[in-house]
Amino acid sequence: MERAELLARAELFLQEAVYRSRATQAAGTALAQLAEGAQRQCGLGDGPAVVLDLTPRGRELAAELFPGGIPARVAPLLREWVERQDALDRDRNHFLKAFRQRHGFDRNAYSPELRAQFEQGLERVNAAAATERRAVAQRLLA
């Protein structure tokens, strides 16, 4: 497999770790909201839930990336990435909330200039997440 394909699969592997952890986080957040009778500000709860069990897709990717078995160095990288992705998602949610509070929730009502500001801001947040995910994927393959 070419390096670019390995890197793309490593990024997918990292995303699977986030998906698996996020499912647990969502359940915990929903239960906390029911118990407290209030909704959290950004919907992600108090902090990341880190679950290092792999989804079926995560196991497939792991077998492709690490045919000899998953090295011990992978678990700490996954934990670090899940925690960092949680922070990046919070940044995105906070950007969205702040922008919508200033300018309204209906993007159809935004002027072309305001819509461009919204899209550029969201792109900045998403590009930062993609850059960081790529860097962690490279470390994963090192």
Q: Does pLDDT of 31 surpass 50? A: no
- Whether 28 shows a pLDDT value over 80: the answer reads no
Q: What is the chain's mean pLDDT, rounded?
A: 85
pLDDT higher than 50, residue 117: yes
- In tens, the pLDDT along 44-70 reads 455 656 666 788 999 999 999 999 999
What is the Cα Rg of the chain in Å?
18
pTM, whole model, 2 decimals? 0.76
**Polymer length of the chain:** 142
What is d(CA 32, CA 76) in angstroms, rounded to the nearest whole number?
27
Q: Identify the domain containing residue 122 by its residue range.
A: 3-141
What percent of the chain is modeled with pLDDT above 70? Answer: 79
Q: How many domains does the chain have?
A: 1
**How many whole angstroms separate alpha carbon 34 and alpha carbon 31?**
5
